[in-house]
Amino acid sequence: MRVLSSLLLGVLIALAFISEWETVREFAPVVGLACVSFNVISLLAGYFLPRATKLSEPQAIAIGFEVGIHNGTLAIFIALEVLGRAQATIAPAIYSLSMYLTGALFAAWLLHRRPRRA
């Protein structure tokens, strides 16, 4: 099941990038580094700060994902419907696409760190 869910996540990430390729190509150089940096810092801080306070590994992992995976769809809705500014949707759109990739890499890192069971 783990392999199937990982493959499905990979396909969804690829489809998201393909469907939004023009947006990614145009705006990723402008906001991409900031979005990816914010996501990676959020994931790592959400994991390591709880570990520093002696919370268990599963709790730290849950907090890491909760802090690192943000609701880009909500940010896009607010930008369009509340603020009426289409330009304000660019960063959350790039972030939404990149967070799945960085989240998957974070999960792979966590799985790689886990001790192997005999």
Write out pLDDT tens, residues 92-104. Answer: 888 888 888 898 8
Is the distance from CB of 64 to CB of 47 less than 8 angstroms?
A: yes
CA diameter of the chain: 57
Residue linked to tokens 């390591």: 48
**pLDDT tens-digit series, residues 45-84:** 999 999 999 999 999 999 999 888 877 778 878 888 888 8
Sequence ranges of the domains in the chain: 2-113
Q: How many C-beta neighbours within 10 Å does residue 3 have?
A: 7
In angstroms, the Cα distances linking 22 to 9, 33, 34, 54, 89 are 21, 17, 19, 44, 14
pTM for the model stands at: 0.72
Query: Which amino acid, 102?
Result: T
